Structure 1
Amino acid sequence: MTLPSARDWLFSLKTFTASMLALYIALRLELPRPYWAMATVYIVSNPFVGATRSKALYRALGTMLGAAAAVLFVPPFVESPYIFSFVVAMWTGTLLYLAISDRTARSYVFMLAGYTLPLIALPAVTNPTGVFDLAITRTEEILLGIVCASVVGGAVFPNRLAPSLVERTDAWFRDAAFYVKETLSGRIAGQAISASRQRLATMVNQLEFLLSQLAYDHTRPDILERAHALRGRMQLLLPIVSALADPLIALLGGAQARPAGLEALLADVVKWFDAPLAQDDDAAADRLRERIAALEPQTAELTTWDGALLSSALWRLRQVVDVWQDCRALRSLIAREAGVWRPRFRHWRLGGSERYFDRGMLLFSAGSAVAAIFVASSVWISSGWQDGAAAVSLAAVACCFFAALDEPAPQVFAFFVWTCASVVLAGLYLFVILPNVHDFAMLVVMFAVPFIIVGTLIPRPQFNLATMLVAVNTASFISIQSAYEANFLTFLNSNLAGPAGLLFAFIWTRVTRPFGAELAAARLMRSSWQDVALATATPPGGDQRNLAARMLDRLMQLIPRLAATDDHRHPSIESFRDLRVAFNALDLLRVRRRAGDEVGASIDSVLVGVREHYNRCAARRVRQAVPESLQTAIDAAMARVSRAEVREETGAAAPVEPPAPAAPAGPSKPAESAPAAPAGPIVPPVPAEPAEPAAPAAPAAPAEPAEPAAPAEPVEPVEPTEPAAPTTPPPLPTRYLRDALHALVGMRLSLFPQLSGVSGPARPEAQA
């Protein structure tokens, strides 16, 4: 454990100063519970001004909403305790559902409104006529603490969130560089790379919440826009690099000759990734793109598996270069807060805004909290324990705090342990130290040492929960008033209620939510299979972007839930392949809308096969073996697309190789009948159909009659002025055919990695 930094000490001193200021004002105003103002300062304070302001604003709104609900519900239901308990539980559960359905800082409004109701309403059941005064005074105390925390945090050496964003993302850049270098070396599995993959996804998820606080940091709109663009590129890098891994391993790990210049190019890409981030070197990226274009195989070579594989690998490598250059440029612009950004990575999938939420698990989490609050209230009512309201209130707080976790019980138990420690510390202060305090200045001195030391640990994520609970609960349990008054039995009775409620919440969550991350991961994977099947349908263009965004967001939630492993068939790697299948299917759909009968029919057969396979996986709730018929359909589609591209490029029909009598399951090697060929044809070339005759010299003349392609939209018929002649669909641009070929290669490698050697470790020479 490293010692606190100067920044940590400064934050702790500022927070302690704000808390003492709030306590002094509350005592001067003779508020009934001045300690709540002090505790609120520690709840809302954050090392960054923007985070403090956003949390302060949302806590104020949530407190006022919960207090208003208490005033509304207590008078009509106080005479019916069980109905009242049900109303309180339902209110808390409903607001909790809204809170965990929002992954931005705005969720704090709903969270606070949810558990503020039991904090105010339950203690008021013995005196319902005073609920309005209780709601008003609690709101005043909390608002006082919020104002003090915001003013001191913003006026005394404010720490802006935007400049620190670069520091927070530097760890992501280091992990990303390591991840790319390992991938370019032919390694896609192992403890180190799996752990790196988890950290990359976790950082992307954390940035979503962090960026929602930037608007409260007086950040310029252009910097805020660039920060969101940076997160989007960071999110895209993982699946793009993953898509590059399979073709590279197939190229470098096989027995066939490696493409000339590819290994040197990959080595230079690795050097570029190792270059200092502060160094703007767009010229190096441009040179890499030029070398990638120079290695692109000729159109005629695309009819072979090796040529199609190399073209796909180079296309994805260029995407990696583009995305990494964008990430570096955005980081530099955010750090300098000046400059103009020209994005290099442009793709139709950009622009989707949809996020994935497992509504079933969210409802279950909220429902579990509702049941816990109602059962705890029923136990309190039946026991007649006067101070039992505090137990129910803290049980509600614990259930709300950790509802979004897959396994909340360990965190609830930590809440219980540190609350017990706070009771002991509060008792030590109340009965040993405070009797010797005679004025406010001495009180500040007595509080200074422990609260300042504890405050230095609040900014550290590993200590945040424990230290914040100690500071908040100790201030609350001491119950500081204008005049000293202490009774040991009263203190023990009232402050044992909180730990009792937390112990109940721990047992409840252990019983009702014992599943852990395994259940959440399994549900995420089944949902992803359903979306892969959905990706093979024909949604509107906008829906395609949102579908891609939703699948990518779900993958970022899934990866941190999967333990690091060196298994090449690990669910994290398989999930990346599922995402690539979906993305490739969306690419094929874009081509299909423009393709004629020959290419379109082959694409349709692939999409139907993919849809049936993933529907079968989702229905049986376990991953199924991919049928061999789908491999045949993909290979046939690749052959047709590559021939169509040759025809479009040369104006003549591509030569059709006779199918090998015993085609291997994986990528074919040169046929024995043609030893001079550098690589065999894509297997199979379309064995079920006869070869097409050679096309005439004129490109416009069709090689054989074809049925007109169905138009994308209804058009009015036009009467011909002369006898109709057989027509062909308009030729598909080469770039669409090349995109279709890349999508089919990626789909084949993702669905059948074992056929190309990408499901096992790469050969030693590929790891050198």
Structure 2
Amino acid sequence: MNYPTYRDWLFSVKTFAASMLALYLALYFQLPRPYWAMASVYIVSNPFVGATRSKALYRALGTALGAAAAVLLVPPFVEMPYLFSVIVALWTGTLLYLAISDRTARSYVFMLAGYTMPLIALPTVTNPGTIFDVALARTEEITLGIVCASVVGSTVLPSRLAPTLIERADAWFRDAAFYGREALLGHLVGTDISQRRQRLASTINGLEFLLSQLSYDHTHPEILARAEAMRGRMQLFLPMISALADPLAALRNLHVRPAGLDALLADAAQWITAPLAVRARDMHDDAGDPVADSLHARIAALQPERESLTGWDGALLSNALWRLGQVIDVWQDCRSLRALIAHESAVWQPRYRHWRLGGTERFFDRGMMLISCLVPVTAIIAACSLWISSGWHDGAAAVALAAVACCFFAALDEPAPMVFRFFLSTCASVVFAGLYLFVVLPHVHDFAMLIVIFAVPFILIGTLIPRPQFSMVTMLVAVNTATFISLQGAYDADFLVFLNSNLAGVAGLLFAFVWTRVARPFGAELAAKRLLRSSWHDVALSASSAPLDNQRNLASRMLDRLMQLIPRLAASDEHRHPSIESFRDLRIALNALDLRRSRRRLGGDLPDAIDRVLLGVSAHYAKCAEASARQDAPQTLLHTIDDALGRIASHGAASVAPEAPEAPGTPDTPATPPGASRRASASQRWMSDARHALVGMRLSLFPQQGTNPPHAAEVHA
């Protein structure tokens, strides 16, 4: 069992102190519901001051927006209860959709505004004249709690987010080093490797939200930019290692490995698993990384001669070395950025540069988002209908908590289990609140004694809030217990009122659980299937002749979708597991984009050959998307790729053919003009890019054909 750390105890004591300060001030200013100030402290508090500030700001904005909506909508529609129920549901669903569409800390504004409106509006429908007072009081109480949480969190031993960023980055480095080493040594599949792949993707996804909070932690903009760059290169590492594994596997199966390649791979694996630099100057860009520089020099020495590139063995080796160089550059960038972020010093110069870097587009499954938002909308309408038809006086509390529960977990693939945990934590809060309200509080006569009797349970619960596995449940227990006790300036408790009002909330959560279970019986499998189908659409688009507004954004969208897909797939040791196949899909799309870029710079019959390849790839993936199932790539596409490789090989052979001997007595051949030499070099570079893309595409589409040379790739003099 892991006991609370010093940091956990510090956070819990600070949060409890802030909650007691908020409660004292609320009682002093005679606010109608002082317990909301106490509860708000536990809602917005976070172990890190930046996260607390961002959540506090966004909670204040969300509360104000929700309260304003309640004030505007209750008076005109209070006499039309069913229509008002629909309006409340649509408001909540619309704001929830906006919240899910924003993957930064800013999403809390929309989430809170979505369920704050029913929390304020529904209890006042029987007395609409009080709506403004209730909205104002709730805003004041919540703002007071926010201010207290922010002030205490910022002034009393504040904890910064930057160290947590380093901790999470180091966890990624441990998993990535293991994954990279295994891939370089030829271990491509296995349950442990698959689990590391899932953790790597999950860490990258979690960093996106963390980085959105760094600006509230007084983080220097340059450090924030470095953190964004580090996350971007972390995203690239997995696909690059996957792309490198294919040609390495083919070379191993061909048994034609050149001398020095195994030693190079072993040394690269050892360098990847080496300890991270502990000092910023160890990664100073002026000095560089001598080990990485040495690896690059050995890669250059192993490059096949131009004549060898006309054969399959040479093309495979060239592709593997090219991708190994990219992996080394990306890993070096990640290490450098990690050291510079940790020590906030030195100047970073990127090693890996590519025209495709810089895309900002993210992928959102709009269909699943609509389904996620329809569940709360229909739950609110159904719960309101039951409340109206039954005439239950406290039914508003049931509807409000049902709305809160459905909104909290709407973005999850399987929200029902978390809604049930919400239900259980609320039941526990009702019991705790009842014991305090009817057993303990009658013996309390001053605020100091109140602090003493609250200290032990709330501080103990608070130590579990920083732990991800307990965070949601313990926070809900603290918030609900503070709310259900309903502390006022004077003791005034009625057991029947307490039981009726709080059982309404429990009933609402039970209804939310049943409704969510019925309305969303599907889980991660459907989400993964939709992500796969969408990825096939984008692969078809990348290989089509349709104009692309921004290839960088298309690549960014596909990479972001892959990071969403991998954690949804179960760990497996299968060679054809969807996670491995999905990396191949991404590589095919990126290779298609490279081919589209290269074909414009090539002459002769090469553009037509490349167009036929792209057309075949686009048709194949369009077929997969239409069938909603992965299809085997047709053999005709293999022949088309082989034909394009053969034509590139023919051009390469022609470019390196020996010159005819000079005839006796003829004048010396004039020197090649510099411009022609540059054009020839550029043409070779574009042909090399096209060759790499075609080899990668062939290996990804037909991994079992890696040992079979293309039928037209070999050129015989």
- TM-score, normalised with respect to structure 2: 0.94
Aligned to 1:493, which of 495, 500, 524? 500
2:349 is matched by which residue type in structure 1? R
Picking from 433, 439, 442, the partner of 1:435 is: 442
Are positions 1:474 and 2:481 aligned together? yes
The letter of the residue matching 1:199 is R
The alignment status of 1:231 with 2:238, answered yes or no, reads: no
Rounded Cα–Cα distance in structure 1 between residues aligned with 2:316 and 2:529: 32
Is the Cα contact below 8 Å between 1:249 and 1:757 reproduced in 2? no
Give the Cα–Cα distance (whole angstroms) in 2 for the partners of residues 652 and 579 of structure 1. Answer: 42
Aligned to 2:458: 451
Q: 1:355 aligns with which of 348, 362, 366?
A: 362
Question: What do residues 89-136 of structure 1 show as CA deviations (whole Å, max 9, x unaligned)?
Answer: 000000000000110001000000000000000000011000000000
1:131-280 correspondence runs (5 A):
131-252=131-252, 254-278=253-277, 280=282
Distance 2:254 2:201 in 1: 35
The one-letter amino acid of 1:610's match is V
Q: CA deviation at 1:652?
A: 6.5
Amino acid in structure 2 at the alignment position of 1:228: E
Q: 1:732: how far off? A: 5.5
Q: Indicate conservation of the 8 Å contact 1:646/1:652, yes or no.
A: no
1:415 matches 2:422 = yes
Following superposition, the deviation at residue 167 of structure 1 comes to 1.2
Deviation at 1:699, TM superposition (A): 11
Instruction: Give the AA of the match of 2:206.
Output: Q
Q: Which structure carries more helix by proportion?
A: 2
2:675 aligned with 1:733: no
Shifted more, 158-167 versus 104-113: the winner is 158-167
State the Cα deviation string for residues 32-80 of structure 1 (Å, max 9, x = none): 1000000000000001111000000000000000000000000000000
Residues 1:395 and 1:224: Cα distance change in structure 2 (over 3 Å)? same
SS at match of 1:424: helix
- The answer (yes or no) to whether the contact 1:648–1:731 under 8 Å persists in 2 is no
Q: Quick check: 1:531 aligned with 2:538?
A: yes
Q: How many Å apart are 1:273 and its aligned residue?
A: 1.2
Per-residue deviation, residues 400-454 of structure 1 (Å, max 9, x unmatched)? 0011011100000000011000000000111111111100000000000000011
1:58 alignment partner in structure 2: 58
State the secondary structure of the residue aligned to 2:219: coil
Aligned CA distance change for structure 1 residues 599 and 255 (closer, same or farther; 3 Å): closer
Q: Following the alignment from structure 1 to structure 2, what is the Cα–Cα distance between the partners of residues 398 and 475?
A: 18
| Letter in structure 1 aligned against 2:87 | V
**Given residue 578 of structure 2, which amino acid in structure 1 is its aligned partner?**
P
Partner secondary structure for residue 212 of structure 1: helix
Aligned to 2:123: 123
Structure 2 residue corresponding to 1:367, chosen from 370, 374, 379: 374
Amino acid at match of 1:741: R
- In the TM superposition, residue 700 of structure 1 has moved relative to its aligned partner by 9.4
Quote the Cα distance in structure 2 between the aligned partners of 1:642 and 1:544.
28
Aligned alpha-carbon RMSD (Å): 1.7
Partner Cα distance (2:143, 2:469) in 1: 28
1:105 alignment partner, SS class: coil
Displacement, 1:522? 0.3
1:333 and 2:332 are equivalent in the alignment: no
1:635-689 Cα distance to aligned partner (Å, 9 max, x none): 1111111232343455769xxxxxxxxxxxxxxxxxxxxxxxxxxxxxxxxxxxx
- How far 1:593 sits from its partner (Å)? 1.3
Question: SS of the residue aligned with 1:275?
Answer: coil
Aligned match of 1:69: 69
Shift of 1:589: 0.6
Question: Residue 550 of structure 2 aligns to a residue in which SS?
Answer: helix
Q: Structure 1's 652 and 572: CA in aligned 2 closer, same or farther, altered over 3 A?
A: farther
8 Å Cα contact 1:591/1:740 also seen in 2: yes
- Shift of the 749–589 alpha-carbon distance from structure 1 to 2, 3 Å rule, reads same
Report if the CA contact (8 A) 1:562-1:571 is conserved.
Answer: yes
Match of 1:521 in 2: 528
CA distance in 2, matches of 1:369, 1:75: 23
Cα deviation digits, residues 357-408 of structure 1 (max 9, x gap): 0001111111121111111011001011100100000000011001101110
1:648 & 1:481 partners in 2: Cα distance? 89
Q: Deviations over 1:310-330 (max 9, x none)?
A: 000000000000000000000
Q: Name the count of aligned residue pairs.
A: 687
| Identity rate, percent | 70
Q: Matched residues in 1 for 2:185 and 2:622: separation?
A: 35
Cα shift at 1:271: 1.1
Match of 2:44 in 1: 44
The answer to whether the 8 Å contact 1:18/1:152 transfers is yes
Contact 2:104–2:209, Cα closer than 8 Å, also in 1:
yes
Asked if 1:505 is matched to 2:512, the reply is yes
What letter corresponds to residue 211 of structure 1 in structure 2?
L
Report the alpha carbon displacement of residue 698 of structure 1 after superposing the two structures with TM: 10
Distance 1:40 1:594, change over 3 A: same
Q: For residues 582 and 683 of structure 2, what CA distance do their matches in structure 1 show?
A: 32
Normalised TM-score (structure 1): 0.88
Q: Give the letter for the 2:645 counterpart.
A: M
Q: Which residue of 2 aligns with 1:300?
A: 307
Structure 1 counterpart SS, 2:4:
coil
Listed as ranges, the gaps of 5+ residues in structure 1 are 654-696, 702-728, 759-768
Alpha-carbon deviations, 1:451-472, whole Å to 9, x = none?
Answer: 0011011000000011101100
Q: CA deviation at 1:532?
A: 0.2
- Of the structure 1 ranges 539-548 and 745-754, higher mean CA displacement relative to structure 2 is found in 539-548
Structure 1 partner of 2:701: 751
Is the contact made by 1:595 and 1:732 (CA closer than 8 Å) also made in structure 2? no
Shift of 1:250: 1.0
Letter in 1 for 2:692: H
Taking the aligned partners of 1:92 and 1:243, their CA distance within structure 2 comes to 44
Moved over 4 A (4+): 538-542, 649-653, 697-701, 729-732
State the SS of the aligned residue for 2:358: coil
Deviations 1:230-259 (A, max 9, x none): 00000010100010011111112x152322
- CA distance in structure 2 between the partners assigned to 1:259 and 1:639 by the alignment: 23
Q: Secondary structure at the match of 1:213?
A: helix
- How far residue 541 of structure 1 moved from its aligned partner, in angstroms, is 7.0
Question: What code does the residue aligned with 1:130 have?
Answer: T
Which residue does the alignment assign to 1:484? 491
C-alpha contact (below 8 Å) 2:465/2:471 kept by paired residues:
yes
How far has the Cα of 1:169 moved from its partner? 1.0
Q: Does 1:82 align with 2:89?
A: no
Quick one: distance in 2 between partners of 1:172 and 1:757?
34
Measure, in 1, the Cα distance between the counterparts of 2:100 and 2:154.
29
Q: What is the alpha-carbon distance in structure 2 between the residues aligned to residue 302 and residue 730 of structure 1?
A: 17
Distance 1:644 1:732, change over 3 A: farther
Aligned amino acid, residue 147 of structure 1: V
Q: C-alpha deviations, 1:200-220, integer Å up to 9, x for none?
A: 000000000000001111110
Q: Distance in 2 between matches of 1:224 and 1:205?
A: 16
